[in-house]
C-alpha cells in the first residue's frame, strides 16, 4: 500500500532499557561475608515451627477407614497422580481433574508445606482452587511434603500439635495407620477429621471438612537426619461430606510415599526442591534443562535480604523469583543478558517463615550457577553504593529519601541510564559530574513511568553520581540500569503490510527501525507479538494510530524475550507498528498480528453517581454500564449480589474501550468494591460486570463520589 503518512513520521530515540547486571558493591559495605561460606548440601525442604506440646492421644476412638495396603489395590479405572519424581503418589477416579501441572510455585507454597499433588472432582472445583476461590461444591485431594518441627515421637501426638496452629475443630482423636513406601518399610502415620477453614489455599472457606493424614519419618532413619512428613488432605463441604467419604477412602488406599529427600520435583516435574540456605550462604547449583530449582530459607519479618545468582556458563540467562511464606511473589529479577549476574539488594522481608528462591533459565537451558544469600537486620546499602557499567541493580527507595549511586566514567564516552519504578511513585533521575555540576535532571513521566538518559556524552573522566528521589516523597521498588552507548535509531525501513493472522520474519540492520502497516477497524482488539530469533536482541514495539499519534509502547522484558501488545483500536484506518532494538543491534525477529475474539458485554444502560442500578446476568454473559465522568473525579464503586453462591467481579473500562482496572477480591456471595478510583480523562467510562463461573446472577451496582 502507498504510505501516505510516511512523510509525517518523526521519531527520536525509541527505548526502554533492560541491561546487564553484576553484583553490587558499596563503599564501606559489600557482600564479602559470603565469600568464605561453605557450600550447602541438600537439607530440609520446608522448616516450620509448631509450639504445641500435647501428650499422645492414645488409642483411636473412631472407626478408621481401610488402611493403605503395602501394594496399592488400585483398579484400572483409577488414574494415577504423582510418581517417584514428585515423592508422593495416589490414584483418583477417572472423572477427577489432575491439577498438579497447573500449580505454579507461589500457589504450591503455604504454611503447612509444599503441595506436590492436587486433584479435584470437577473443573468447577479445580478452577476455584487455582483462583483461591471458595469451593461452593465438589471435593479435592492434595499431597504435601514438609519438614515440620513437631513434638512427640508418635504421629498422633505430632498431628494433634500441628492442628493447634490452625483455626479448625478436630472430630475425635487421631487414629494410627501405616502406608506403603517404595524405599523403606511401611511408614507410620495418623489421621483425623477436622472442620473449619482450609489448611492450604487462602480462599476464606470456613465450611469445610477435611480428613488429614500425617506420615512421619523420625530422626535416625536411614533416609534423613531431620524430621520429615508427608501430608495428605481430602476435603469437601461439610454438608456434602457423606457423598465423598467412600471416594476418599478409596484414594487413601492407594497412597505411596517414595524418596521425598532426593531432589523431589513439583509442578509436574518442572521444578526441583534442592535444599535450604543459612543467613550467609554461598551454594553451587546445576539447572537441568527445562527444570527450575528452588532453595529455601527461614527469616523473621522485618529483616533484609540481598540475593545474587551468578551463571558459570556465559550462555545461561538466569531469572530469579523470591516467594513469601504465604505464597506471594515478592520480587522477580531478570535484568541481565546471558552470562550476567542477577542481584536484588536490601529487599525487606514482610513475613516470618520459610521463603523460596526459584532459579530458572529463560530459554530452559541447563548449566551451573552459584547462589548467595545475605540476611541482615539493617540494610547493607541504605544510602546507595557503586554501580558499574553494564549493570542493573534492583532496590527500594524509602519514603522522603534518596539513593546515591556512583560510577567511574571516561571523557567522551556515551552512557545510557534507565530508572524504572516498580511502584506507582513519580521518580526523579539526576546525573552529576565529577566536579559536582548537575548535568541532567529528569522527571518527564507520570507515576510509575521510566526515566531515561540515552547516549549521554560524558564531559570529564572521574566519578559520576546518580541521585534517585521521588517527586511527592513516595517510596517504592525500582531498577537502575547503567550501560555504555545508546545510539539513536538512525533510519527507518518499510517492512511491508500485515493483515490479521500474519506471521512474518525480518532482519533488523544496525541502528534501524522497521515500519509495518495494517488496516484496522474501530473496536478491533489487536495482539502484536514480536519474538527475537537471536538471544542478544532486546526488541521494543510502538503502535501508532492513523494520525501518527502514539497509542502504546512495550519493552518490559530483557534481551531474547518476546514482547506483546494487546490494544483495542479507537478508529478505522491505517495503523503503524514500529519495531526497533534498544542498543541498535542487528538481528532477525518474527512478528505476528492477530485480532482477538471479543466476548462483547451486553449493554445494560446508563448510570448516574449515587443512583444504584440493578440487573441480572444471563449464563455466560457480562453486562456493561456506562457513565459520564470528568477528569479528577474520585469514585467509590460497589457491586453486590443477593445469591450466596454467585461470585461477581467487575472491570473498569476507559473512554477508549480499553480495560483500566479489574476488581475480583472476594468470594461467592460477598460484595466487590473499589474505593477512591481516580478518573484520568473526561469522557464516557464503563463498568463491566461478570460472574467467575459464568453462572446467571442478580446484582446491584452503585457508583458514588468518594468522601475525601
Instruction: Dump pLDDT digits (tens) for 405-456.
Output: 999 999 999 888 888 787 667 788 999 999 989 999 887 655 556 677 878 8
In angstroms, what CA-CA distances link 708 with 424, 470, 631, 636, 705?
A: 20, 24, 16, 11, 9
Whole-angstrom distance between the N-terminal and C-terminal Cα of the chain? Answer: 54
| CATH code for the domain defined by 602-705 | 2.60.120.380
Residue 44 Cα to chain centre, angstroms: 24
- The pLDDT assigned to 597 comes to 64
* Res 123 pLDDT > 50: yes
Residues 6+ apart with CB under 8 A from 220: none
**Sign of dihedral through CA atoms 566, 570, 571, 575?**
negative
155 — phi, psi (to 5°)?
Answer: -60, -35
Going by their DSSP bridges, the two strands 602-606 and 623-629 should be labelled as parallel
Say if residue 593 is exposed, middle or buried (CB neighbours under 10 Å; 0-12, 13-18, 19+): buried
- The pLDDT assigned to 622 comes to 94
The model's confidence at residue 192, banded by pLDDT at 50, 70 and 90, is very high
pLDDT digits (tens, 9 = 90+) for 529-559: 999 998 778 898 989 888 777 788 887 777 7
- Contact, 135 vs 208, CB < 8 A? yes
Q: Beta strands of 500-633 (E only): which ranges? A: 503-508, 512-520, 525-532, 539-544, 550-554, 563-568, 573-581, 587-595, 602-606, 613-617, 623-629
| Nearest-angstrom CA–CA distance, 64 and 156 | 13
Grid cell for residue 525: 482488539
- The pLDDT assigned to 231 comes to 92
| Nearest-angstrom CA–CA distance, 192 and 171 | 7
| Nearest-angstrom CA–CA distance, 237 and 349 | 35
* Res 226 pLDDT > 60: no
- Contact, 79 vs 94, CB < 8 A? yes
- Range from 225-229, 255-259, 504-508, 699-703 carrying the lowest mean pLDDT: 225-229
pLDDT digits (tens, 9 = 90+) for 554-590: 877 777 888 988 888 888 888 999 998 877 788 899 9
- The pLDDT assigned to 529 comes to 93
pLDDT digits (tens, 9 = 90+) for 333-371: 776 667 777 888 888 888 887 788 999 887 778 899 999
pLDDT digits (tens, 9 = 90+) for 271-294: 677 777 888 999 888 888 888 888
pTM metric for this prediction: 0.53
The model's confidence at residue 704, banded by pLDDT at 50, 70 and 90, is very high
User: What residues does 663 pair with on adjacent strands?
Assistant: 650
Residues 6+ apart with CB under 8 A from 670: none
| Nearest-angstrom CA–CA distance, 121 and 110 | 22
The count of other CB atoms within 10 Å of the CB of residue 288 is 15
Question: What 8-state DSSP symbol labels residue 279?
Answer: S
The DSSP code sequence of 404-464 is EEEEEE-TT-EEEEEEEESSS--EEEEEE-TTS-EEEEE--S-TT--EEEEEEEP-SSEEE
Residues 6+ apart with CB under 8 A from 543: 528, 550, 551, 552, 553, 565, 567, 575, 576, 577
- Range from 77-91, 125-139, 197-211, 651-665 carrying the lowest mean pLDDT: 197-211
- The pLDDT assigned to 277 comes to 86
Say if residue 603 is exposed, middle or buried (CB neighbours under 10 Å; 0-12, 13-18, 19+): exposed
Architecture of domain 275-484: Sandwich (2.60)
Buried b (16+ CB within 10 A) or exposed e, 485-506: ebeebeeeeebeebeeeeeeeb
- Is domain 490-595 given the CATH code 1.20.1250.20 in the classification? no
| Nearest-angstrom CA–CA distance, 544 and 532 | 21
* For range 674-691, the mean pLDDT: 92
Question: What 8-state DSSP symbol labels residue 33?
Answer: G
Mean pLDDT rounded to a whole number for the chain: 79
Buried b (16+ CB within 10 A) or exposed e, 214-253: bbbbeeebeebebbbbbbbbbbbbeebbeebbebbebbbb
Name the 3-class secondary structure at 628: strand
Q: Beta strands of 59-167 (E only): which ranges? A: 79-82, 88-92, 97-98, 114-120, 139-149
- Contact, 344 vs 305, CB < 8 A? yes
Residue intervals of the chain classified under CATH 2.60.120.380 are: 275-484, 490-595, 602-705
47-266 folds as Protein Transport Mog1p; Chain A (3.40.1000)
Q: Which residue has the higher pLDDT, 597 or 602?
A: 602
Q: Which residue has the higher pLDDT, 340 or 376?
A: 376
- The pLDDT assigned to 478 comes to 84
* For range 376-384, the mean pLDDT: 82
pLDDT digits (tens, 9 = 90+) for 488-534: 444 667 788 899 989 999 988 877 888 898 988 887 889 999 999 98
Residue 465 Cα to chain centre, angstroms: 33
554 — phi, psi (to 5°)?
Answer: -150, 125
Please give the share of the chain, as a percent, with pLDDT higher than 90: 29
The count of other CB atoms within 10 Å of the CB of residue 59 is 9
pLDDT digits (tens, 9 = 90+) for 639-648: 999 898 899 9
In angstroms, what CA-CA distances link 84 with 20, 72, 182, 232, 290?
A: 39, 15, 9, 16, 18
- Range from 50-54, 137-141, 203-207, 420-424 carrying the lowest mean pLDDT: 50-54
pLDDT digits (tens, 9 = 90+) for 95-104: 999 988 777 7
Buried b (16+ CB within 10 A) or exposed e, 118-130: bbbbbebbbbbbb
The model's confidence at residue 708, banded by pLDDT at 50, 70 and 90, is low
Q: Beta strands of 265-327 (E only): which ranges? A: 265-266, 271-276, 280-287, 292-299, 304-311, 318-323
- The pLDDT assigned to 446 comes to 53
Q: Which of 226, 112, 119, 99 is nearest to 165 (CA)?
A: 112
* Res 44 pLDDT > 60: no
Q: Which bin fits 620, alpha (ψ -120 to 50), beta or left (φ > 0)?
A: left
Amino acid at each position: 500500500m502507498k504510505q501516505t503518512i510516511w512523510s509525517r513520521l518523526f521519531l527520536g530515540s525509541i527505548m526502554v532499557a533492560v541491561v546487564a547486571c553484576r553484583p553490587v558493591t558499596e563503599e564501606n559495605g559489600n557482600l564479602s561475608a559470603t565469600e568464605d561460606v561453605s557450600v550447602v548440601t541438600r537439607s530440609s525442604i520446608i522448616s516450620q515451627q509448631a509450639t504445641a506440646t500435647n501428650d499422645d492421644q492414645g488409642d483411636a476412638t473412631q472407626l478408621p477407614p481401610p488402611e493403605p495396603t503395602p501394594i496399592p489395590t488400585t483398579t484400572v479405572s483409577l488414574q494415577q497422580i504423582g510418581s517417584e519424581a514428585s515423592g508422593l503418589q495416589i490414584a483418583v477416579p477417572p472423572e477427577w481433574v489432575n491439577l498438579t501441572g497447573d500449580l505454579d510455585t507461589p500457589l504450591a507454597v503455604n504454611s503447612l508445606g509444599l503441595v506436590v499433588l492436587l486433584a479435584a472432582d470437577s473443573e468447577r472445583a479445580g478452577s476455584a482452587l487455582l483462583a483461591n476461590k471458595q469451593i461452593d461444591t465438589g471435593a479435592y485431594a492434595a499431597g504435601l511434603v514438609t519438614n515440620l518441627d513437631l513434638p512427640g515421637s508418635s504421629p498422633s501426638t505430632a498431628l494433634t500439635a500441628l492442628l493447634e496452629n490452625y483455626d479448625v475443630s478436630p472430630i475425635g482423636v487421631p487414629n494410627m495407620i501405616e502406608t506403603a513406601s517404595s524405599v523403606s518399610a511401611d511408614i507410620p502415620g495418623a489421621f483425623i477429621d477436622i472442620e473449619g477453614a482450609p489448611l492450604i489455599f487462602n480462599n476464606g472457606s470456613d465450611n469445610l471438612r477435611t480428613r488429614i493424614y500425617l506420615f512421619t519419618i523420625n530422626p535416625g532413619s536411614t533416609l534423613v537426619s531431620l524430621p520429615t512428613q508427608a501430608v495428605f488432605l481430602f476435603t469437601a463441604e461439610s454438608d456434602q461430606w457423606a457423598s465423598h467419604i467412600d471416594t476418599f477412602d478409596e484414594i487413601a488406599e492407594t497412597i505411596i510415599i517414595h524418596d521425598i529427600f532426593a531432589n523431589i520435583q513439583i509442578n509436574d516435574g518442572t521444578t526441583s526442591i534442592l535444599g535450604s540456605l543459612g543467613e550467609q550462604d554461598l551454594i553451587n547449583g546445576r539447572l537441568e534443562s527445562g527444570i527450575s530449582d528452588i532453595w529455601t530459607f527461614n527469616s523473621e519479618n522485618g529483616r533484609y535480604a540481598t540475593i545474587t545468582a551468578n551463571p558459570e556458563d556465559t550462555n545461561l540467562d538466569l531469572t530469579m523469583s523470591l516467594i513469601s511464606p504465604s505464597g506471594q511473589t515478592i520480587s522477580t529479577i531478570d535484568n541481565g543478558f546471558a552470562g550476567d549476574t542477577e542481584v536484588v539488594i536490601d529487599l525487606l522481608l514482610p513475613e516470618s517463615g520459610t521463603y523460596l528462591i526459584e532459579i530458572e533459565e529463560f530459554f530452559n537451558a541447563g548449566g551451573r550457577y552459584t547462589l548467595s544469600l545475605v540476611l541482615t537486620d539493617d540494610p547493607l546499602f541504605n544510602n546507595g553504593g557503586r554501580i558499574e557499567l553494564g549493570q542493573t541493580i534492583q532496590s527500594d527507595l524509602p519514603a522522603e529519601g534518596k539513593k546515591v549511586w556512583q560510577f567511574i566514567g571516561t571523557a567522551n564516552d556515551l552512557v545510557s541510564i534507565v530508572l524504572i519504578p516498580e511502584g506507582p511513585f513519580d521518580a526523579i533521575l539526576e546525573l552529576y559530574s565529577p566536579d559536582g555540576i548537575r548535568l541532567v535532571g529528569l522527571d518527564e513521566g507520570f507515576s510509575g513511568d521510566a526515566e531515561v538518559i540515552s547516549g549521554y556524552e560524558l564531559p570529564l573522566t572521574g566519578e559520576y553520581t546518580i541521585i534517585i528521589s521521588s517527586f511527592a516523597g513516595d517510596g517504592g521498588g525500582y531498577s537502575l540500569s547503567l550501560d555504555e552507548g545508546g545510539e539513536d535509531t538512525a533510519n527507518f525501513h518499510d517492512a511491508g503490510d500485515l493483515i490479521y493472522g500474519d506471521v512474518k520474519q525480518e532482519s533488523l540492520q544496525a541502528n534501524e527501525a522497521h515500519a509495518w502497516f495494517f488496516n484496522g477497524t474501530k473496536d478491533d482488539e489487536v495482539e502484536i507479538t514480536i519474538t527475537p530469533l537471536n538471544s542478544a536482541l532486546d526488541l521494543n514495539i510502538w503502535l501508532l494510530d492513523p494520525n501518527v499519534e502514539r497509542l502504546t509502547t512495550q519493552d518490559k522484558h530483557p534481551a531474547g524475550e518476546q514482547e506483546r501488545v494487546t490494544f483495542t483500536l479507537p478508529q478505522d484506518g491505517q495503523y503503524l507498528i514500529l519495531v526497533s532494538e534498544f542498543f541498535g543491534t542487528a538481528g532477525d525477529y518474527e512478528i505476528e498480528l492477530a485480532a482477538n475474539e471479543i466476548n462483547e458485554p451486553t449493554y445494560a444502560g446508563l448510570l448516574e453517581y449515587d443512583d444504584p442500578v440493578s440487573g441480572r446476568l444471563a449464563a455466560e454473559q457480562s453486562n456493561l454500564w456506562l457513565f459520564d465522568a470528568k477528569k479528577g473525579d474520585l469514585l467509590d464503586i460497589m457491586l453486590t449480589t443477593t445469591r450466596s453462591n454467585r461470585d461477581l467481579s467487575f472491570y473498569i473500562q476507559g473512554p477508549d474501550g480499553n480495560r483500566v482496572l479489574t476488581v475480583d477480591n472476594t468470594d461467592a456471595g460477598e460484595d466487590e468494591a473499589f474505593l477512591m478510583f481516580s478518573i484520568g480523562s473526561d469522557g464516557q467510562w464503563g463498568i463491566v460486570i461478570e460472574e467467575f463461573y459464568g453462572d446467571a446472577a442478580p446484582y446491584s451496582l452503585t457508583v458514588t463520589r468518594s468522601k475525601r
